[in-house]
Amino acid sequence: MTDADAPILAPEQQLCFAVYAAGQAFSRLYRPLLQPLGLTYPQYLVMLILWEGQPVTVTGIGRRLGLDTGTLTPLLKRLEASDLVVRTRSAEDERRVVVTLTEKGRQLKAEAKAIPEAVACASGRDLPDVMRLRDEINALSKALDASRGCT
């Protein structure tokens, strides 16, 4: 490696490192926002899906969040132990597990409504700018998933 190569190979010059560092910053930001709700970030994501409309299958939640059932099952068990959700086997197909909110889980939505605005505020951007940035990151993720490599 020559000195001319060094800057481009520095971690701070890598897109992946910028995304990784942003992920770490999000973790630090969300922790105190979610603590009063008694939720971890992955649990919050599950609750967001359930607050959209329910019931939802475990498979459907996993597909939306990119989580396998081995990761999702313990997470759902903790939400169930906190009396936020109920898991039941589908009457039509016992292989399917359906997740629904409890009354306590539905009520938690009101407390969570301030979180997106708090995140936008912490970013120093207005909500439309945050949404635009989100769309760009989603497009990047989609392009990377579809990529066959550029070697």
Enter the DSSP assignment of 78.
H
Q: What is the pTM (predicted TM-score) of this model? A: 0.86
| Residue 23 pLDDT | 94
Kindly state the helix (H) or strand (E) to which residue 99 belongs, with its residue range: strand 97-101
Ordered by where they begin, the domains of the chain are 1-37 (no CATH), 40-102 (1.10.10.10), 114-146 (no CATH)
| Mean pLDDT, residues 69-95 taken together | 93
Tell me what pLDDT residue 4 has.
63
Residue 54 has what pLDDT? 76
What would the mean pLDDT of 3-22 be, rounded to a whole number?
A: 86
Higher pLDDT, 137 or 92: 137
The residues pairing with 56 across neighbouring beta strands, listed in sequence order, are 99
